[in-house]
Amino acid sequence: MSLLRRTPDRRARVARATALGLCALLLSGSAGALAPASAAPVTQEKGLKTWWYTALGLEKAHRETTGKGVKIAVIDEAIDPTAPELRGANVKLGKDCDGNRVKPATGTKADHGTAVTTLISGTGRGTGPGGRGIRGVAPGAEVTFYADDSDPSDEPVDCFTSETYSLMKLALSDHPDIITTSLDLGYNGSMRPVVKQALDQGIVLVGDAGQKGRVLVPGVTMTFPGAVPGAVAVLAGDRNGRAWSQNPRPFRSFINGNPVITGPGVDVPGIAWVPGVGWQSGRSLTGTSFSAPIVAGALALVKSKYPDATGNQLIQQLIHNPSSGKYAWDRDYGFGLLSMSRMLATDPTAWPDVNPLRKGPRAALADYPMSSRGASASASPSPSAAESPSSDASAVPDETTRASAATADSGGVPVWVWPLGAVVVLAGAGAGVAANKRGSRSSTSGRTREEG
C-alpha cells in the first residue's frame, strides 16, 4: 500500500494551568503518518516515586543485571541527548532516514523520542528533588537512536512513510539484539521484507500496539510493525494492572494482528518538555508509546543475565511468564502483564529457538505449551497448527484461549507482581485518557495523578 508523507499542520501547543502552580500539557494537531499513535497528554507527577519501577521490582533486578552487553535500537522522531536523564547515559546517535548522523533536537519536537529513550536508559539524575530523575529499565544496555526526522530545526517531519523502511535497514546493519519503536512505520511493500529479515534473524522487534481510532492504515486497528505476526505488540496498563481504555483491538485483514503483552503505560512518571521551563522529570505519560520501551528494556535485562538466549527464546520467556503465572491469551492483555521477576527467574535457553508469535496466539499456545520447555531448541510446530509458508496471517484465537491471560490465581483479576512476593489487587476502573499521534495529539482528559 502507498502511504503519504507525514506533514503535521501544526505542532503541539501547551496550555499552562495556574491553579496551585500545576501544569497540564494539552498537545494537539492534525493526524499524520509515522506518528506515535499512543502518546497521551502529559500531566504533572508529584515527586519521583515511579510506581512502574517499583511494581516491576527493578531495584532488585538491577542488582542482578542492568542490560550490559545488550544492543537496543530505538526508532523514533527526534532526541535531545542533553536532557537531564540522558546526560552520561549509554545512548549514541545513529542515522536518520537520509542515512546521515542523527542531529540532536530539543523542545516539543524531541519530547516523544527523548521520553521513550529515557524509559530505557535514564540515569536517575534529573530535575526532581535532590537532582533525582527517572532511572530506566535497562540503563546498562547500549542504545542507538535512529530518527525519522532529518532536520529538527523545522516543524514538519522529513521522512516519507515510503522511506521509513530505511531506518529499519540501518538498524539491522548495526546488529542489535532488540529493535523498539513507538512510531507507526506503516507496512508498505518496502517495509515488509525488512521486517521479515529482522524476524528471520531472530531480532526481537518490539512495537507499540497503538490506540483506538488513531491508525495510519484505514481499516487496521493496530500500528506497524507491532501488528506484524512475530513482533511483540505492547498494550498499556495502569498501576493497578487494569488495561488502558484506549488500547486497540486485534484486527483481521491482509494480516492478523494480535497484542502480545501488557506493560506499564498509564500515568507512567517520565520526562517531558515544558515550553518556557524545559525538561521536567516525573511528568505523567500515558499510551502504548511508553509501555513498549519498558518491555524492550525488560527483555534486555533478561538477555544480559542470560547472554546465550536467542531473540526467539526471549520472546518465549516473555509470553510464558506473565505476572499471573498462567499461560493463556486474552485480547485485552495479550499473554498477560509483564513480569520482570518471573522472566529473570529461569534460563530462557530451555525454550525452543523458534519465534512463537509468527502464526498467532492460538498456534503459540498449541505448539509451545509449558511442557515444551527443555525440548529441542529446533523443535518444529505440530502439523495441525502449521500454515502455508507463503502466508503472512496469524491464526485467529478462539474464545477458549482467552480465559485468563492476565488474571491472578485467586481473585480472577489482573495484578502487577511487586517485590518480596506481594501483589496489588485491582480495586477500581482504569483511567480513560485519549491519546494520539506525535504532531497530532489531542486530549479528553487533563487529569493529574499525584504520588506522595
Q: Tens digits of per-residue pLDDT, 344-398?
A: 999 999 999 999 999 999 999 999 999 999 875 555 554 434 333 333 333 334 4
Rounded to an integer, the average pLDDT of 34-46 is: 46
Choice between 111 and 33, residue whose per-residue pLDDT is larger: 111
So what's the architecture of 19-379+400-425 in CATH? 3-Layer(aba) Sandwich (3.40)
User: Quick one: which of 90, 92, 78 has its CA closest to 182?
Assistant: 78
Rounded to an integer, the average pLDDT of 220-235 is: 94
> Could you read off the pLDDT of 282-320 as tens digits, one per residue?
999 999 999 999 999 999 999 999 999 999 999 999 999
Rounded CA gap, 383 and 212, in Å? 35
Mean pLDDT for the chain overall: 78
Domain ranges of the chain: 19-379+400-425
> Could you read off the pLDDT of 143-184 as tens digits, one per residue?
999 999 888 777 666 677 667 888 999 999 999 999 999 998
Rounded to an integer, the average pLDDT of 190-203 is: 94
Q: Tell the burial category of 275 from Cβ atoms under 10 Å away from its Cβ (0-12, 13-18, 19+).
A: middle
| Low-confidence winner among 99-113, 144-158, 197-211, 221-235 (lowest mean pLDDT) | 144-158
Choice between 102 and 8, residue whose per-residue pLDDT is larger: 102
User: Quick one: which of 378, 308, 371, 272 has its CA closest to 42?
Assistant: 272
| Residue 146 · residue 180 · CB < 8 Å | no
Q: What is the pLDDT of residue 260?
A: 98
Active site (catalytic) residues: 76, 112, 289
| Low-confidence winner among 23-27, 103-107, 250-254 (lowest mean pLDDT) | 23-27
Q: What is the pLDDT of residue 186?
A: 83
Rounded to an integer, the average pLDDT of 20-39 is: 36
Q: What is the pLDDT of residue 149?
A: 85
> Could you read off the pLDDT of 396-429 as tens digits, one per residue?
344 334 434 444 333 344 466 533 333 333 223 3
| Low-confidence winner among 130-139, 330-339, 432-441 (lowest mean pLDDT) | 432-441
Instruction: Compute the Cα dihedral for 129, 13, 15, 215 and give only its sign.
Output: negative
Burial 129-161 (b: 16+ CB within 10 A, else e): eeebbbbbbbbbbbbbbbbbbbbbeeeebbbbb
Give the three-class secondary structure for 56: coil
Q: What is the pLDDT of residue 390?
A: 33
Rounded to an integer, the average pLDDT of 312-335 is: 97
Q: What is the pLDDT of residue 416?
A: 67
Q: What is the pLDDT of residue 234?
A: 98
Report which residue type is found at 91: V
Rounded to an integer, the average pLDDT of 33-48 is: 46
Q: What is the pLDDT of residue 431?
A: 31
Report for 27-31, 94-98, 201-205: range of highest mean pLDDT: 201-205
User: Quick one: which of 400, 206, 220, 412 has its CA closest to 314?
Assistant: 206
Residue 270 pLDDT exceeds 80: yes
Choice between 32 and 188, residue whose per-residue pLDDT is larger: 188
* Helices 165-173 + 191-200 axis angle, to 10: 30
User: Quick one: which of 67, 387, 94, 357 has its CA closest to 234?
Assistant: 357
185: left (phi over 0), alpha (psi -120 to 50) or beta: alpha
Does residue 397 have a cis peptide bond before it, meaning omega lies within 30 degrees of 0?
no
Q: What is the pLDDT of residue 190?
A: 86
C-alpha cell at 197: 529479515
